[in-house]
Amino acid sequence: MEANGLGSQGFPELKNDTFLRAAWGEDTDYTPVWCMRQAGRYLPEFRETRAAQDFFSTCRSPEACCELTLQPLRRFPLDAAIIFSDILVVPQALGMEVTMVPGKGPSFPEPLREERDLEHLRDPATVASELGYVFQAITLTRQQLAGRVPLIGFAGAPWTLMTYMVEGGSSSTMAQAKRWLYQRPQASHKLLRILTDALVPYLVGQVAAGAQALQLFESHAGHLGPQLFNKFALPYIRDVAKRVKARLQESGLAPVPMIIFAKDGHFALEELAQAGYEVVGLDWTVAPEKARERVGKTVTLQGNLDPCALYASEEEIGRLVQQMLNDFGPQRYIANLGHGLYPDMDPEHVGAFVDAVHRYSRLLRQN
């Protein structure tokens, strides 16, 4: 690091690298912790900031994204920040219209209905240039973080993005998207390739802008059984990691740890552990000791407290965290929830979770 306290990219020097060390599989003095959706509606200040404009306008404002990203760090001693954005900015950049309907979630007025609809999508090579606002938000946030903790960038994985583009929104069964997989396997692979080709430069662009780690969200893994997952999700998950890493190297950018979080993808744990990611995220349906047995010593695990455990008393949260940390063991582990925070959660209980992880993980290492 240069003497002026600025790192190689001109960003302030990192003061707390515990999260990055754990992600790379190095030993840490305590267990690092962050929460999926830590910048979310459970925070009154988030609701206040967001009230002014609609969801995707907020995503397109680097200043708003920076403020929302930093809010949870002002309240809690979290070990990482994750940029405020949304996985659906990628389908938007491919030319699809997406709106966020309050109380209902994302909506695509014109979802993909047949193979010929793929011709209307923009060239995936242009996607990164459409998403400059995300890169600006990352750079601004990296500066404002002043080296406090690392900044995580993210994207949705190809299958999860495909589900939204075909279903036109959320779905409990994903029947339309899965109909594509069974009836139009070629068109499905074509769409998944387009998405992969869009994601690679987008993720590399996030690192160039200042992201110090990357998480890929395969939120809808659970709708696929092992066969479909191995055919339509896993190859693209692997491809994203491989190509992002190669592209970073070609661009002369330092490698960053990559996290794969496949919600309800417990049937593919071994495959995910060998997919080229340093960290495998777990949801709360997976027993940590069993997961550790299955993935071996080569990856870091992240997770996996049931978010609803935060409805419990602070004492009970402490007990649950203690159990979780015992089960995962002290090293190669990043504490998190098994899914994002829900809007009606009490910030005090989020604080209790973070503090319990720090407190108990230090105790564990002493004994």
CA gap 354, 280 in Å, rounded? 20
The amino acid at residue 2 is E
Give the active site residue among 17, 30, 42, 50. 50
Q: What is the DSSP string of 316-345?
A: HHHHHHHHHHHHH-SSSEEEEESSPPPTT-
Other residues' Cβ atoms within 10 Å of the Cβ of residue 298: 10
Active site residue 332: no
Active site residue 41: yes
Active site residue 86: yes
Active site residue 60: no
Give the active site residue among 41, 122, 247, 365. 41
Cβ-Cβ contacts under 8 Å for 156 (sequence gap 6 or more): 87, 88, 90, 216, 217, 218, 219
Give, rounded to a whole angstrom, the gap between the first and last alpha carbons of the chain: 35
- Specify the length of the chain in residues: 367
Beta strands 258-262 and 279-281 are parallel
Q: What is the DSSP string of 206-230?
A: HHHHT-SEEEEEETTGGGS-HHHII
Which whole-number Å values give the CA distances from 45 to 48, 106, 178, in the listed order?
5, 23, 39
Helix %, strand %, coil % for the chain, to 5?
50, 10, 35
The amino acid at residue 214 is L
Give the active site residue among 17, 79, 86, 239. 86
Specify the residue for token string 């890169």: 135
Backbone angles phi and psi of 151, in degrees to 5: -110, 125
Active site residue 184: no
Give the active site residue among 164, 202, 236, 360. 164
Cβ-Cβ contacts under 8 Å for 54 (sequence gap 6 or more): 99, 100
Partners of 101 in the β-ladder: 105
Q: Give the count of alpha carbons within 13 A of 331, CB side only.
A: 10
Give the active site residue among 37, 60, 148, 243. 37
Query: Which residues are catalytically annotated?
Result: 37, 41, 50, 86, 164
